[in-house]
A = this chain, B = another copy of it.
Amino acid sequence: MKKFINSIESLLDESERGFASAHADIVRFNAEPRFMARTAPRAPGKVALISGGGSGHEPLHTGFVGLGMLDAACPGQVFTSPTPDQMLAAAQATETGGGVLFIVKNYAGDVMNFEIAAEMLECPHDTVLVHDDVSIPEHQGMGRRGVAGTTVVEKIVGAAAEAGMDLDGCKILGERVVRATASMGVALTSCTVPALGKPTFEIADNEMEMGVGIHGEKGRERMALAGATEIVEHLTQAIDGELKPAAGQPALLHVNGFGATPLMELYLVYHLAREFWGKRGVNVVRSLVGNFTTSLDMAGCSVTLTLLDEEMIRLWDAPVHTAALRWGC
């Protein structure tokens, strides 16, 4: 295992202290229990938006803490759910009378621990569950996983909360964005979890894992490596079949790298995905290309499409000041 670490035990702490000192204008780090909270002042009564999940997906979620997006993020150990006490402490530290909205990716541990935290929380609260990974059937097992569409949900709901939308409104909006969003990913290599010290799965030089999850979970099928156009069509057709956008539909196209794939390739994937939807009359009016929901050092990427309405476009464009997304301020 070739990584910049001193020890498995100190990895998260050293990394988070680095993050917090590099972005001291945006976040403050609470070490015990572990959460990252925004430093920007909050209007009294603003809904507190809190997310979290296993580490190893950075910049998600800590990189999205700040004005116009999350109030706090709770990082668990690598690929391990955070604990309810983290979520509870983050909620109590950031709630100012408007209640708390948890944004939770659909994984068993995350869902359970956010539920426990919610039960302990005495102020008004609600949850938006993100389940945008269309590689998995909708009603199988735990259902669909929450993947790169989470960034879009957190940005749009974050802008609404910042503008004063109440808890019910934020919850309804969040679920609307989730319904309008579909993602699918493909891995060319496995990631290596530090505590394990070896790749999560074996994959041959002429194979790819189509429909992979953001922890390297299997998706649809192990396939022979193909040219980029063919790979992208697997992703875009699955998404298109799910969302069934009408001609003229405005959309946000997000190409997300899993960590080890160069920007050059991500922009190439973006080009091909945009061509795919261009031929179908979908109007890509907003774009996001880069590493946002990563899987440590996995090579691969995902494509996410969100069908936009005017309110969602306005909220996407609203000012944001976080470590990973910043515009308008």
Residues in B whose Cβ lies below 8 Å from that of A271: 14-15, 17-18, 21
Q: Is the interface of A mostly helix, strand, loop or mixed?
A: mixed
- Tell which of A51-59, A110-118, A160-168, A212-220 binds the partner: A51-59
Q: Is A291 an interface residue (CB 8 A)?
A: yes
Confirm or deny: A205 has a beta carbon within 8 angstroms of a beta carbon on chain B.
yes
The reply on A85 being an interface residue by CB < 8 A is: no
Question: Nearest chain B CB to A271's CB is how many angstroms away?
Answer: 3
Count how many chain A residues have C-beta atoms less than 8 Å from C-beta atoms of the other chain.
Answer: 59
CA–CA, A56 and B14, complex, Å: 30
A263 to B291, CA, bound (A): 9
Determine whether A238 belongs to the interface, using a CB cutoff of 8 Å to chain B: no
Contact residue among B6, B59, B227, B297 (Cβ-Cβ distance under 8 Å from A5)? B227
Q: Which of B7, B16, B22, B297 contacts A260 (CB 8 A)?
A: B297
- Residue A149 CB within 8 A of the other chain: no
Q: Which of B2, B18, B272 contacts A225 (CB 8 A)?
A: B2
Partner pick for A22 among B16, B231, B289, CB 8 A cutoff? B289
Interface flags for A1-32 (1: CB within 8 Å of B; 0: not) read: 01111110001101111110111000000000
A residues in contact (CB < 8 Å) with B = 2-7, 11-12, 14-19, 21-23, 55-56, 58-59, 63, 78, 188-189, 205, 208, 225, 227-229, 231-232, 259-272, 274, 284, 287, 289, 291, 294, 296-297, 299, 301, 326-327
Query: Knowing that A2-B188, A4-B188, A21-B284 are A-B contacts, what are 18 other residue pairs whose CB atoms are under 8 Å apart, sorted by A's residue number?
Result: A2-B225, A3-B261, A4-B261, A4-B265, A5-B228, A6-B228, A6-B268, A12-B264, A14-B228, A14-B272, A16-B267, A21-B271, A22-B267, A22-B270, A55-B264, A259-B262, A260-B297, A263-B294
In the assembled complex, 14 residue pairs joining A and B whose CB atoms fall closer than 8 Å, in A order, are A2-B299, A3-B265, A5-B227, A15-B268, A15-B271, A18-B271, A21-B274, A22-B287, A22-B289, A58-B264, A78-B264, A259-B260, A260-B297, A260-B299
